[in-house]
Amino acid sequence: MRHITILGATGSIGTNTLDVIKQHPESYTVFALTAYSQMERLIACCRYYHPSLAVVANAKQAEEVSRGLKGKMLKTEVLYGEQGLIAAATDARVDTVMAAIVGAAGLKPTLAAARAGKRILLANKEALVMSGQIFMDAVHQYRSELLPIDSEHNAVFQSLPMDYDRNLADRVRRILLTASGGPFLNHTETMLAQVTPEAAIRHPNWVMGKKISVDSASLMNKGLEVIEAYWLFGVPANKIEVVVHPQSVIHSLVEYIDGSVIAQLGSPDMRIPIAHALAYPKRMTSGANFLDLIRQGSLTFTQPDSTRFPCLDLAYRALDAGASAPTVLNAANEEAVAAFLGNRLRFMSISNVIEEALETVAVTQAKNIEDILEIDAMTRRIANRFINQETIH
């Protein structure tokens, strides 16, 4: 029996994780569920999964959840704030932590899970992008086990040899991350200048949270994933490439020096990588549809267009610059995406804000997580100055 904490239980990844767990009640129990909004939903999940702990954002929410669980014969303790998240991630009764909070907010609890030596199922790519070296050092030092949930990285993981942490660079010629291209793949620059948040969050193949949906539309999601792959698999940036594959059937590929290419395929359903990581190294059913290649027909591949979608190149630039540059990239992107979703910034200006932030904030070497959070906060202030300067019309 595995005991699981789900950080971000009410989100898209959290909901899919609970769905997989529901199919295997004999193998998994839910220890803690955390949420930042949607208290009704959290209460409903607590009533069904009976966690020992529920964590919310503030005292008012904690009261609401406690009230909602009253008289239900549940022994769910309700905590709030950062300390609550860290308790959920590190409790001695937990062995597996699904890190599915969106953005920088997930960093501290995910890092705490690593330091507590947990098995981490990593969806929260922003945490790794902003603190790559420090996070990976903690994983190694405390013998935490890191399993990727991001479909591309889960595919790469499945396509690598079991002893992949040894001498991978000698054997692997390239890692090819596939990108769907998002909802604006075939938009002209004129069309891109006018897209709305509503259009940006309507992804053709996946139903996801708003932030990652906008990232998919701008291709920044793929940029973050290049950095994520760099840290997860320890291959240099020039061996990580992106190919646009609109059908989202091949989730990524590994090319070996002998010319062999190994890939993982499946229907676009996050329950597949989630079930893979939950059961690893075993296998179990996920509830996803099986892939029907005949019905699928053709699979196509093209190069990403860096003129219409400059964010991918910005991510490579940040990775090349190293040190704090990916932290800056991530923080500026989070602020720009929030401004776009709030109708304060045009879609095409997202990359301008990130580029200006990268050019303005000096590259420094963070020594600890406090340094990272300081760079993150400073970048957000600077990014907001640029956001206010960009005209919306």
Give whichever of 356 and 384 is closer to ligand NAD, judged by the CB atom: 384
Taking CB under 6 A as the criterion, the residue among 18, 21, 32, 35 binding ligand NAD is 35
The reply to whether 215 sits near Mg ion by the rule CB under 5 A is: no
Taking CB under 5 A as the criterion, the residue among 150, 335, 355, 376 binding Mg ion is 150
What is the closest distance, in whole angstroms, from the C-beta atom of residue 326 to ligand NAD in the complex? 15
| H-helix or E-strand spanning residue 179 | strand 172-179
Report cis status (omega within 30 of 0) of the bond before 281. yes
Cα–Cα distance measured from residue 68 to residue 56, given in angstroms and rounded to the nearest whole number: 13
The reply to whether 269 sits near Mg ion by the rule CB under 5 A is: no
The alpha carbon of 287 is separated from its chain's Cα centroid by a whole number of angstroms, namely: 22
Lay out the site mask for ligand NAD across 50-89 (x = CB under 6 A, - = otherwise): ----------------------------------------
The reply to whether 8 sits near ligand NAD by the rule CB under 6 A is: yes
The reply to whether 11 sits near ligand NAD by the rule CB under 6 A is: yes
Q: How far is CA 172 from CA 17, 166, 167, 175, 231, in A?
A: 31, 11, 9, 7, 15
With beta carbons less than 8 A apart as the criterion, state whether 154 and 254 touch: no
Cα–Cα distance measured from residue 133 to residue 371, given in angstroms and rounded to the nearest whole number: 13
Give whichever of 152 and 355 is closer to Mg ion, judged by the CB atom: 152
What is the closest distance, in whole angstroms, from the C-beta atom of residue 125 to ligand NAD in the complex? 5
The reply to whether 225 sits near ligand NAD by the rule CB under 6 A is: no
Show Cβ contacts of residue 137 under 8 Å, excluding neighbours closer than 6 positions. none
What is the closest distance, in whole angstroms, from the C-beta atom of residue 307 to ligand NAD in the complex? 25
The phi, psi pair for 210, rounded to 5°, reads: -65, -45
How many residues bind Mg ion (CB under 5 A)? The answer is: 3
Lay out the site mask for Mg ion across 296-335 (x = CB under 5 A, - = otherwise): ----------------------------------------
Site for ligand NAD in 159-198 (CB under 6 A): none
The reply to whether 376 sits near Mg ion by the rule CB under 5 A is: no
The reply to whether 212 sits near ligand NAD by the rule CB under 6 A is: yes
- Residue of minimal CB distance from ligand NAD? 11
Nearest one of 310, 301, 201, 305 to 252, comparing CA atoms: 301
Show Cβ contacts of residue 122 under 8 Å, excluding neighbours closer than 6 positions. 99, 110, 128, 146, 147, 148, 149, 150
The reply to whether 12 sits near ligand NAD by the rule CB under 6 A is: yes
- Look at residue 356 and give the partner it binds from ligand NAD, Mg ion, none, a contact being a CB closer than 5 to 8 Å depending on partner kind: none
The reply to whether 334 sits near ligand NAD by the rule CB under 6 A is: no
For 308-311, the CB contacts below 8 A with 24+ separation are: 308/187, 308/188, 308/189, 308/192, 309/218, 309/219, 310/351, 310/355, 311/218, 311/219, 311/220, 311/223, 311/350, 311/351, 311/354
Give whichever of 276 and 380 is closer to Mg ion, judged by the CB atom: 276
Site for ligand NAD in 243-282 (CB under 6 A): 270
Site for ligand NAD, rule CB under 6 A: 8-14, 35-37, 100-102, 105, 123-126, 150, 206, 208-209, 212, 270
